[in-house]
Amino acid sequence: MLEEFIEDEFDIDESMRELDALDTEIQKLLRLEEIQSAAYDKAFAWWDVVGGLPSIFERYKSSIASLEKMFPLLSDNPEDRFSRGTLLVGLVSAYEGLIHDFLLLCCQSYALATKAASNLNNLEPYDRTYLGLKVDCSRDELIMKLKKKTFHDPMQVTRLCNVLFELPLPGAHDKEVSYYKALLKARNSYTHNGGYENGKEFKISMKTLRFSFKYFHMLADSYEQYVAEQAITAADEADKT
């Protein structure tokens, strides 16, 4: 009979097992292709960021250089107190502009912006509150929030880059933490209260001013270095998938 012929010639169960095994193998290949595609998307995204860095860093360094032209005109004399404070405010303002441009540059990449939106739940409560974001925030909403906010605290910038874009910027040392706090306290004093705090004059020496400009030069250079290293690492990881 036909049924007997089929049973004699074909092992239906074995055929089904072979088909299941083939389907499993196909799914593995598709998953591998998906992983490889995502890895290369990440690598290309970081190289795009590297390509966009020169223009924003040139603007930052131009702003810094413009402020530094005032150094020869200043001294530690009391009458230059407010001018020294104003230059410090200008330095922090230039840094804010750099970070604003850098974060938006990263968000121009669909892959990086999507990754950032998916990482929102990993932010510290303070940073999430500062951004005014929900955990389930969309990519476009995140970009709009980043456009509206200012970031002048290097420690917060490090946290945001580490979490949102998985860019491994190093944390600040204890001395750097103390310096940042003092710097931002001085900046706020001169920005909002004419260089006074609780009626007491906030003094900034030329030595402190020169050090701060030199430090923020180096800080910006380190950002360039770490982004380039991230692009190289991402490319290497993509090649290994």
> Position of tokens 């097992």?
17
Angle formed at CA 217 by CA 233 and CA 151, multiple of 5 degrees:
80
Q: Is the pLDDT of residue 60 over 50?
A: yes
Q: Where are the domains of the chain?
A: 2-240
Give the H or E element holding residue 152. Answer: none
**Is pLDDT at 35 greater than 50 in this prediction?**
no
Separation of alpha carbons 203 and 196, rounded Å = 9
Proportion of the chain above pLDDT 70, given as a percent: 81
pLDDT of res. 136: 74
Q: What is the pLDDT of residue 47?
A: 87
Average pLDDT over residues 145-156: 94
Pull the structure tokens for residue 159.
């946290």
Which amino acid is located at 22 in the chain?
A: L
Please name the residue that has the structure tokens 């609780």: 198
Q: Mean per-residue pLDDT for 76-105?
A: 96
pLDDT at 32: 45
Strands (E), the chain: 196-197, 200-201
DSSP letter at 109? Answer: S
Distance between CA 123 and CA 166 in Å, rounded? 12
Per-residue model confidence (pLDDT) at position 29: 45
